Amino acid sequence: MGARSEQSGLRLGDSLADHLAATLDGELRTQLTGAILAMADAATVIAALVARGPLGGALGCDTGGLNADGDTQKTLDVLSNDAVLEALNMTETAYFASEEEEAILTLHPRGALAVAVDPLDGSSNIDVNVSIGTIFSIFPASPGGASASFFRPGSEQLAAGYFVYGPHTALVLTTGQGVNLFVLDQDLGVFCFARSALSIPLEAREFAINSSNYRHWFKPVQTFIDDCVAGREGTRGKDFNMRWVASLVAETHRIFTRGGVFLYPADRRPGYERGRLRLLYEAFPIAMLAEQAGGGAIDGFQRILDKTPGELHERTPLFFGSSRKMGIIASYHVDASDRLGQAPLFGRRGLFRT
C-alpha cells in the first residue's frame, strides 16, 4: 500500500490500531491503546456531525448555558463532549477531565488512565466552516485519586494528540516516540497512517497572534511583534507573515506543516492576566506534541511541560513553535519585571537576532 515508514515499519494506509500495536510497549500498552482508539471513535462521530454542517441543525448556536469555565457553550460543544465521554466509558479510563465539565468525573475507579479533553476547540468557527478540532492528553491514573492524576507536571503525560476537522479529518499523535499523522478514511471509517516523524521546521517566517489585542499586551510581546512587523529593515532582518484563525488546532496544524510560532500571551484585560488557554487540556498536549516534533512550548518564562496545574480549568499563556523562536521569545521576557509590563532588558537591542 505504499512506502514503509522507517520509524514503525508501517505502510501508508495501515490502521491506527496497527500503528499502536507496532509501537506501544510497557505495562499500560493495552489500556493506552484502548483510550486512543476510543478517542478516534469519538472523533469519527464528531467529524460526521461537522461534515453535515447546517444540515445537522444549528450546531454553532449557543445552548444558553456556560461551560465550567464561563464560556458560552455551543450545541456542538455539548454533543462532542457526550461523544468523547461515551467512548471513554468503554475503556479502562479512571478519570475524565473536560472543558465542558465542572469537575473531574470518575468513570472506572480501578482504571489505569486519566484523560483530559477539549472536546471541541475553536467552536466560534463552526458556522463559518473553518477547521475546528478535539485536543486530548493522557496521564497514568494516580493512586492518589482524581486530582493527583491531573495536577502533575505535563512532562508526565503518556500520550497527547489532536484531531482536526477540515478538508480531511486528521489525527496528530504522540506517545512519546515522535509525532505521527493519521487521516480518517471516510470509506472505511478508520484512521490510517499517513506520515511519521513530523517535525517543526527550525526556520520560519510566520507568526500567529490576535493583533487586535496589541494595546493590551505587555511590553515583551509588543516588542517581539514590533520587531517581526519591522521586517528586513528591523532588528530581525527578515520579513514575516501573520496568520490568525482563532482555532488552536488549525494554528497548530499549520505550524506542524510549514513552521512558525504561535503566541497567546497574558495581557492587561480582566480575566486574561494569567493567559486564556487551559493548561491541562490545551497547553499540555500541544506542548508535548511540539517538543516531540523538535520544537518548544513556553509561557514566556517557563517550559509548559514543567508547570503543574493547581485547578482543573487553570489558564496559562502559551507560546509554541520553532525551538529557536522559543529562545528568542524567552529573551524578550528575560527580566522578571516584565511581568509588570516594563520594558524587557534586551527587547530592542537585537542581541538575539537570527
Sign of the Cα torsion 136, 137, 138, 143 reads: negative
CA torsion, points 295, 173, 168, 320, in degrees to nearest 10?
Answer: -20
Grid cell of 118 as nine digits: 477539549
6, burial (CB in 10 Å: exposed 0-12, middle 13-18, buried 19+): exposed
Contacts of 52 (CB under 8 A, 6+ apart): none
With vertex at residue 70, the alpha carbon angle to CA 214 and CA 288, rounded to the nearest 5 degrees, is 65
Coil, helix or strand for 73?
Answer: strand
Return the active site residues.
71, 77, 99-100, 118, 120-121, 282
Using CA atoms, how far residue 277 sits from 52, 72, 122, 222, 229, in Å, is 28, 15, 12, 19, 25
Please tell me the distance from the alpha carbon of residue 171 to that of residue 6, in angstroms, as a whole number. Answer: 20
Please tell me the distance from the alpha carbon of residue 257 to that of residue 166, in angstroms, as a whole number. Answer: 14
If one counts every other C-beta atom within 10 angstroms of the C-beta of residue 162, the result is 26
